[in-house]
Amino acid sequence: MEEHIEEESGRRELPPRPAEAHALEVARSLPGERIIATTVGRAQAARCLAADRPEAEVTAWFLDLFLHDLASDLVGDQGPGLPKLVCAADMPSGPYDLAVVPLASGGEAELSREILQAAYHQLAMGGRLVAAVDNPRDRWLHQQLAETGETVRVRPGEETVAYIIEKTRESGRLRDFSCEVVFRDRERLLTSFTRPGVFAHRRIDPGARHLLNAVDVAPGTRVIDIGCGSGSVGLGIAARDEAVEVFAFDSAARAVECTRRGAEYNKLPNISVKLEAHGAVPEEGAYDLALANPPYYADFRIAQLFVSAAHRALAPGGTLLVVTKHPSWYVENLPADWDEVAQEIVKTYHIIEAVRRG
């Protein structure tokens, strides 16, 4: 996510991060004409492998549309010598001869497990999985690969370590990492769905709960849920009145999948969901209420993207509600473009309210 907003304009070339560079080095020594690669950057491994093997079918799989679009700006038109870029909730179907999976040592463990499981499962018999991590003293990744029952070959590096396994047996039963979360909003019990990589997996985020509690909506209100995650906020608002219209979006393909699934499961036809990385909404300037629970990292650059999206979406006089643990940035910056900026403390969270200036 750090690269999620890095170089939003200018789109400069970047070298691969250490784990991806090491995975690429190892993958180049292995055969394969149908290749799947994940990335911790901008698909550098997939791009290099596609350039090396112009007759090969190389696919770079993204879970986040913003990162996909950053890579797409660098790749340009897809064709011979270029990888196919795919943003989807699940790994595109194989079989593959070669899977390349660089990982970050501080990444989400369940997500890494699910990606490794999918990569091994999608390999053709005799296909190889190359995985690398930016921790030369790694044990965790080695253990995950050993649990396939295959021999794990080690390729140590100074800052990283890479591993190779060759598929010699069919995959066992695949583990389902998804989760149903039942929560109450006012008088109704609702079910949301989460998966690894979705905010927040296996729970309702306390900030989302506080945001729901802070909102009252009248029939006919048009609501935008920015960065909807698992969709708990949008689902709760849509369930209060069938005459309320909710438009939810997220750049994470799995978040969109989970929110859409929640809308169908709870029978809420008044919520629509879109995979969107740049804050575009249908009928800009026509919404009454924008809700957001932005992440706290990246020096508030993601928060700025959320606020800008809300400003474009709302009609003059429309209200923005943000939940955060770090209110100072909003209190200092919103008054330049918003009216009636106020904050309310709820336990360890702050609800920031602002009105779109006419």
Q: Give me the tens of pLDDT residue by residue for the chain, a chain 358 residues long.
A: 334 334 443 456 789 999 999 999 999 999 999 999 999 999 999 999 999 999 999 999 999 999 999 999 988 766 779 999 999 999 999 999 999 999 999 999 999 999 999 999 999 999 999 999 999 999 999 999 999 999 999 999 999 999 999 999 998 899 999 999 999 999 999 999 999 999 999 999 999 999 999 999 999 999 999 999 999 999 999 999 999 999 999 999 999 999 999 999 999 999 999 999 999 999 999 999 999 999 877 789 999 999 999 999 999 999 999 999 999 999 999 999 999 999 999 999 999 999 999 8
Query: CB count, 10 Å around CB of 116?
Result: 22
For residues 222 and 239, give the distance between their C-alpha atoms in angstroms, rounded to a whole number: 13
* Domains and their CATH numbers in the chain: 2-166 (3.40.50.150), 179-356 (3.40.50.150)
- Residue 77's pLDDT is 67
The alpha carbon of 41 is separated from its chain's Cα centroid by a whole number of angstroms, namely: 13
pLDDT of residue 79: 72
Residue 269: cis peptide before it, omega within 30 degrees of 0 = no
Instruction: For residue 270, give Cα distances in angstroms to 70, 192, 223, 256.
Output: 32, 16, 10, 15
Task: For helices 18-27 and 44-52, give the axis angle rounded to 10 degrees.
Answer: 20
Strands 245-250 and 222-226: parallel
Q: Which two tokens stand for residue 5?
A: 């907003």
Which 8-state DSSP code applies to residue 296?
Answer: S
- Find, among 263, 259, 273, the residue nearest to 230 by Cα: 259
Q: Which amino acid is residue 303, in one-letter code?
A: A
Q: Distance between CA atoms of 269 and 283, rounded to whole angstroms? A: 19
Global pTM value:
0.94
The contacts of residue 77 (CB under 8 Å, 6+ apart) are: none
Contact 78, 55 (CB under 8 A): no
For 69, the 3-state DSSP assignment is: helix
> Residue 211 and residue 322: Cα distance in Å, rounded?
7
Q: Which two tokens stand for residue 24?
A: 């690429």
